[in-house]
Amino acid sequence: MTMDYRRLMVGGACLGAVAALACAPARAKDSYPLRELVECSPRGGLPNFLARLRSGGEVKVAYLGGSITSQKGYRVYSREWFQKSFPRARVSEINAAIGGTGSNLGVFRLRHDVLRFKPDLMFVEFAVNDSGTRPADIKKSMEGIIRQTWRELPTCDICYVYTFTHSHVGDMLNGKMHRAASVDEEIADHYSIPSIHMGAKAAALLKDGKLEMKAQQVKMTRVSGDELNVASTLPVNSNGKIPFSRDGVHPYLDTGHRLYMAAIARSMPGIMARGRRGRHVLGRPLVADNWEKAAMIPLDAARRTGPWHKLDPASDTNAKRFAQRVPGLWKGQPGATVAFRFRGTKVSMYDILGPGCGYIEYEVDGRKRESRRMDGYCTYYRLATLGCADNQPNTVHTVRITVLDRKFDKNAVLFERNRHDFRKNPQKYAATDWYVGAIFIIGEMVK
């Protein structure tokens, strides 16, 4: 995972290396039908993207996903592959990957991180980080991503790519996709979006005893023979097996990600043979209450009172660090308030957790709650979301948030292994401020 986003938290409670930015609901008790594991489903192809590649000129590929996409693996390899395969084009990438996040954040940040750059193709990779999310919620966010994209950029093609982790191996060895990928396939069918399961061949190698899912990358030698149709390019360990990853999640660049890239290369001829160039037309939605109206609203649009400061990326470390992810970063000191009204069903705040943060009180339609924006990992600052209200009636709601003037024992909050930093840098933890970048809503702001 990227260092900036390796740990995320929502409302002071949800932590984890591959946790989505909203606390993942527990697995639904009802079973969801798993799809057959196939490497590629071409469906409607990528005809507009192919036409742009063939015509030459600038072509933009966006990569919207989590930490596996943020690695310099299949994302970099595929852009290079398109460039080499279509030398007349100038292929550039839009890296919209944030580690540890799923489609429930992707749908809110889509316009800011992807659509404003006008890509010709968007790869979407969220099946791993959506693994613990209810199918109904996956459908809402993933369909929202499609409908937002085609309403704003109707000629942008979309391709789903599926990665996998050690927790998905059981299903895959039985010839099935894991649940989140199976849900995505239902959406892909509805919108005729091509999909590539980049781990299908890796699962076959694992089944044949030729691959290790978790392996220390120690003293590897090159494969002899013709593994994966890429002769002598994948290293093996001393036991003769290909080491896929160290942690069972994030592939090694020269093995696991090469396998992922090989799947893309094998799939592209079939995908590019499909479809007719033209605008994507949005028909009826698969899910009526999908998150097509998900929006990221700059904090500038809300009414602020008290000690607020908009931070300058040129002089503030945090503002510079998160400049690509938020429309602007504000610091509220104790006593600062922000208030706004919206018509819709869901509201969250896109904020930052860190050592200089404290408590806030948030009030939605008169109901008050509190949240501590600092946790045991907070020797550094990281992006997070504060979930204020969900599944609300589609009416006008009033939100008010106050930065509280409350001191607390931050040393006790930190994990034992991080307390040395508090002893070394106590002033780093002295403030009880709130850093916030944007408002997330399903709906629209109203006056």
Is the pLDDT assigned to residue 25 strictly greater than 70?
A: no
pLDDT computed for residue 218 by the predictor: 57
Per-residue pLDDT reduced to its tens digit, 372-390: 999 999 999 998 999 999 9
pLDDT computed for residue 234 by the predictor: 78
Per-residue pLDDT reduced to its tens digit, 249-281: 999 999 999 999 999 999 999 999 999 999 999
Produce one character per residue of 227-260: b if its CB has 16 or more CB atoms within 10 Å, e if not.
Answer: bbeeeeebbbbeeebbbbbeebbbbbeebbbbbb
- Rounded Cα distance, 321 and 313, in Å: 8
- Rounded Cα distance, 19 and 9, in Å: 8
> Where is pLDDT greater, at 8 or 357?
357
CB contact set of 149 (below 8 Å; sequence gap of 6+): 110, 114, 115, 122, 156, 158
- Rounded Cα distance, 286 and 139, in Å: 8
Split at pLDDT 50, 70, 90, the class of 18 is very low
pTM flag (> 0.85): yes
3-272 has which CATH code? Answer: 3.40.50.1110
Q: For the chain, what is the mean pLDDT?
A: 90
Mean pLDDT of 77-84: 97
> Where is pLDDT greater, at 8 or 330?
330
Q: The CATH number of 294-446 is which of 1.10.357.10, 3.30.43.10, 3.90.550.10, 2.60.120.260? A: 2.60.120.260
Per-residue pLDDT reduced to its tens digit, 216-230: 865 555 443 333 333
Mean pLDDT of 232-250: 84
Query: 223 with 235: CB under 8 angstroms?
Result: yes
R_g over Cα of the chain:
23
Split at pLDDT 50, 70, 90, the class of 31 is confident
Q: Where are the domains of the chain?
A: 3-272, 294-446
pLDDT computed for residue 238 by the predictor: 80
Mean pLDDT of 314-337: 96
pLDDT computed for residue 240 by the predictor: 85
Split at pLDDT 50, 70, 90, the class of 78 is very high
Q: What is the percent of the chain with per-residue pLDDT over 70, rounded to a whole number?
A: 89
- Rounded Cα distance, 64 and 80, in Å: 17
Is the pLDDT assigned to residue 10 strictly greater than 50?
A: no
- Rounded Cα distance, 221 and 421, in Å: 41
Distance, first Cα to last Cα, the chain: 40
